[in-house]
Chain A
């Protein structure tokens, strides 16, 4: 009974998205109409014009308007068929936090499960998502030659405090940010460096602080993060 309402709402959002970015969304719609009909109700597919704190509190899923800068295609296709938890507390951890002793915890049972799609749809959706680019990520910003795993890990877990909010191994690290223990399969290195340098470029109100990092620090951290979860480590 609720289906027509949802479809109508999605169509409304799709129309809004179309109004915002006619060219890109048109192309993406052709690649996979499902993206606008089944995903836009929870995910921003175009850069929001109202990037307010209220929007962060009311959105139902993370933004996908920079998906093309962010994801590796193989990971996307596999994850859309068999989604796993990326953000331990859901899209906004606060909504699932319970006060406690010795510390607050996440009510994991209340964190929503992601809808699944079949293999053919996943492939089409991945192609459509990979067309969504932000212009904020520079190709080649990460230089693999400068990678140093020992220094990278030290910066991540001690010196720069990333581990406060991100897990670099399942079960180890903070819970308010996305896990990074499979970042090597999930994320593109040039996105990792751009996001780490200035998260507020992607959302001015996101609760990752702006770290003050030197270029060598950024390179080391990125080298470490994109090594995580890779088979050939």
Chain B
């Protein structure tokens, strides 16, 4: 019994860990703006950056440069916000990164791109790290 109990606890902890690593809808639920931006991320970014925001999207099969892992706290913390906004607005080439990162100015408004930068800071837990 005890063994199963422990295994059960382990599973619960594991489940919680997975839930924590999926900031998709669950974590953003209380904040409507984060939630709306998560939906935009699902529509436009997850195809390359992954449904779990880990850089492992379905399209990476065709990519010669791998997309940024947006859940990587250390790597994401090293990017200045202005660079993130510029990369999303004008594309990777505008910040001397791969042109495979497209420009989204034709799809997202400047306000939505600012919200996206906030959302990325939330996804990588960069605020807490600072």
Residues of A within 8 A of B (CB): 53, 56-57, 89, 93-94, 97, 99-106, 158-161, 163-165, 167, 172-176, 198, 200, 204-207, 209-212
Which of B62, B63, B103, B104 lies at the interface centre, i.e. has the most chain A CB atoms within 10 A of its CB?
B62
B100 nearest CB neighbor, chain A only: A161
Is B43 engaged at the interface, CB distance under 8 Å to the other chain?
yes
A94 to B103, CA, bound (A): 21
Q: How far is the CB of B81 from chain A (nearest CB, A)?
A: 21
A94-B51, A200-B106, A212-B103 known; A207-B58 Cβ under 8 A: no
A174-B47, A205-B43, A211-B102 known; A103-B107 Cβ under 8 A: no
Q: How far is the CB of A20 from chain B (nearest CB, A)?
A: 25
Q: How far is the CB of A134 from chain B (nearest CB, A)?
A: 18
Q: How far is the CB of B17 from chain A (nearest CB, A)?
A: 14
- In the complex, which residues 56-83 of chain B have their Cβ closer than 8 Å to any Cβ of chain A? 56-64
A165 to B44, CA, bound (A): 12
A94-B42, A101-B56, A207-B43 known; A165-B99 Cβ under 8 A: no
Given known contacts A97-B51, A174-B63, A210-B103, what 6 new A-B pairs fall within 8 Å (CB)?
A106-B58, A176-B57, A207-B43, A207-B107, A209-B102, A212-B103
Which of B46, B52, B59 lies at the interface centre, i.e. has the most chain A CB atoms within 10 A of its CB?
B59
A83 to B46, CA, bound (A): 28
- In the complex, what residues of A have CB within 8 A of residue B105's CB? 210
When the two chains form their complex, are residues A209 and B104 in contact, meaning their CB atoms are under 8 A apart? yes
Q: How far is the CB of A62 from chain B (nearest CB, A)?
A: 16
A35 to B107, CA, bound (A): 31
- In the complex, what residues of B have CB within 8 A of residue A100's CB? 56
Q: How far is the CB of A212 from chain B (nearest CB, A)?
A: 7
When the two chains form their complex, are residues B62 and A105 in contact, meaning their CB atoms are under 8 A apart? no
